[in-house]
Chain A
Amino acid sequence: MATDALRPAIRIRPGGPARFVFRGLVFVLALTGFGQLPIYNRYYLSDLPGFGWLADYWATRFVHYAAAALFLGLLAHRTARHLFSPRARRRLTRSGALRAGILTVLVLSGGLIVVKNFPGVFLSDAAVIAVDLVHLGAATAFLLAQLAAMLARRPWTEPLAREPIPPFNPRPETPRGT
């Protein structure tokens, strides 16, 4: 019984397929995000076979939006698994907390840019410049933090001290006679 209680109902491992999906989306988002700057054509990147579309701002913007939607879905999925499951028994490491903080800034500033791009939306000059620079800065900071974490093998989360916990029950029983 005690052994059974110690076994997690949901295994939230730092690895798994989600890790590769996460890294793949980060790569696509970084590639298309920096593609919003006029650099790929200048520095021959769009001359590489198969990369011609990187010089097309409309194509990179569309792919950036699509990848961002998948990325937000994945982030919400992973976060919800931690929050909903009392048996996940993991917490953010310092490196994970730093990256999560930067990601929050990145997502919020990206959301503002999406709203700004709708017709009839007017932000002040200072707000537009600030949001653009914050998004670019947060993206650069996240890439550096992610790279450092990968090189130093710092995981996002670490296990909490193991202790017996009740299994997750979506339909908790009401004690009889109450």
Chain B
Amino acid sequence: MPISRRAFLKGTLAAAAALAATPATEASAGADAALATLIDIRKCVGCGACVEACRGANAAKFPEPQKPFPKMYPSRVKAADWSGRREVDDRLTPYNWLFIQRARVVIGGRETELTLPRRCMHCTNPPCVKLCPWGAAKQLPNGISRIDPEICLGGSKCRSVCPWDIPQRQTGVGLYLRLAPSFAGNGVMYKCDRCWERVAAGEIPACIEACPEGVQTIGPRKEIIARAHAIAEEIGGFIYGEKENGGTNTIYVSPVPFAELNRGIEKGEGRPHLEPVPDTMDEANRLAAALAIAPFAGAAGAFLRLVSRAREREAKEETHGD
């Protein structure tokens, strides 16, 4: 069917208007299309089936570094090498994108141990993705954030801006080796990509599929949050991940407060905390209004000054005329 120039322009303008409106609303197509996972801590027995499944499903993506590593300058730059410790599974590493965290807590006066799978939270507005200086970290419309190993230079900015320090570095692999390996870059950053190829093919992530207890479920974010609230209301429980860092696509439900869980877990490198997290991207984003207004303010200031000067001049001339 032929399209008239008028219809084409109309369609183009409508598309441009829709695109321009996208950032203004949370309820954009991207936000609606986001998939979130619900992790019901009550059901986790800490068997580690999810960890094994993750390692199996992602083995082909794990780094095979070239050795010896290039000498790096200055001397404070250290190599991060996990290739000789691939079996480590009690923390996050480039070879272990999911681990079981154990928390000693008191429930009903009795001390007990709770276990929970920990990995990338897949934030709704991920700083690792948005602030990567090369575009190596990407966010998919379905809410998955992933790091492209072909582009990542291993500068680890993503880990510095991640509230949970999730991405882990492996030296001796990636694009930096072909650029200036001694002076810029230090490998590739690795983290959970929520099995993005499987999800794209209509499957579910390996960790969810392998869990014998049904700890994790995946679905549209709104539905997952509604379900999390229903469970929390039913058991008098608590939710983590809905509001943290402006919202994430990983929602935990726990029978004990997360402050208590956070006290009971081992924290440190590769072992993320469970503390409340403010929206890290929001502070500078609020300045966007100033960026939008500034040019108009500057132009208006120039115009008003010009008018004011002209009137002063006019008044002066009238005074001289008298």
Give me the interface of A with B, judged by CB distance under 8 Å: 9-10, 36-39, 42-44, 57-58, 61-62, 64-66, 68-70, 72-81, 84-85, 111, 114-122, 125, 128-129, 131-133, 136, 167-170
Contact = CB atoms under 8 A, between A and B. Distances in A.
Contacts of A120: 22-23, 25-28, 30-31, 124-125
B138 A121 contact: no
Nearest to B297: A73
A68 B161 contact: no
Given A36-B131, A167-B310, 8 more contacts: A9-B313, A64-B284, A69-B291, A69-B294, A70-B294, A80-B299, A121-B22, A125-B138
17 contacts: A10-B309, A36-B131, A36-B133, A42-B76, A43-B74, A57-B157, A58-B161, A64-B284, A73-B301, A77-B302, A117-B131, A118-B24, A118-B288, A120-B27, A129-B134, A133-B134, A170-B307
Q: Describe A's contact surface by its main secondary structure.
A: helix
Given A120-B31, A169-B314, A57 B160 contact: yes
B161 A57 contact: yes
Given A69-B287, A119-B26, A128 B135 contact: yes
A76 B295 contact: yes
A49 B1 CA distance: 68
Contacts of A168: 306, 310
A81 B138 contact: no
Contacts of B135: 125, 128-129, 131-132
Interface string B281-322: 101110110110111111101110111011101100000000
Q: Describe B's contact surface by its main secondary structure.
A: helix
Given A77-B299, A120-B25, A122-B30, A68 B284 contact: no
A85 to B, nearest CB: 6
Nearest to B293: A69
Nearest to B33: A122
B199 to A, nearest CB: 16
- Across the A-B interface, the 5 shortest Cβ-Cβ residue pairs: A76-B298, A38-B155, A119-B125, A80-B302, A77-B298
Nearest to B31: A120
Contact of A65 (B31, B161, B288): B288
Contact of A85 (B161, B288, B306): B306
A65 B138 contact: no
B151 to A, nearest CB: 7
Given A10-B306, A125-B135, A76 B23 contact: no
A136 B134 CA distance: 10
B156 interface: yes
- In the complex, which of the residues B74, B294, B298 has the most CB atoms of chain A within 10 Å of its own CB atom? B298
Contacts of A43: 74
A84 B303 contact: yes
A80 B295 CA distance: 10
Nearest to B287: A65
B246 interface: yes
Nearest to B308: A170
B254 interface: no
Contact of A115 (B23, B161, B247): B23
B47 to A, nearest CB: 36
B139 interface: yes
Contacts of B307: 170
A129 B302 CA distance: 36
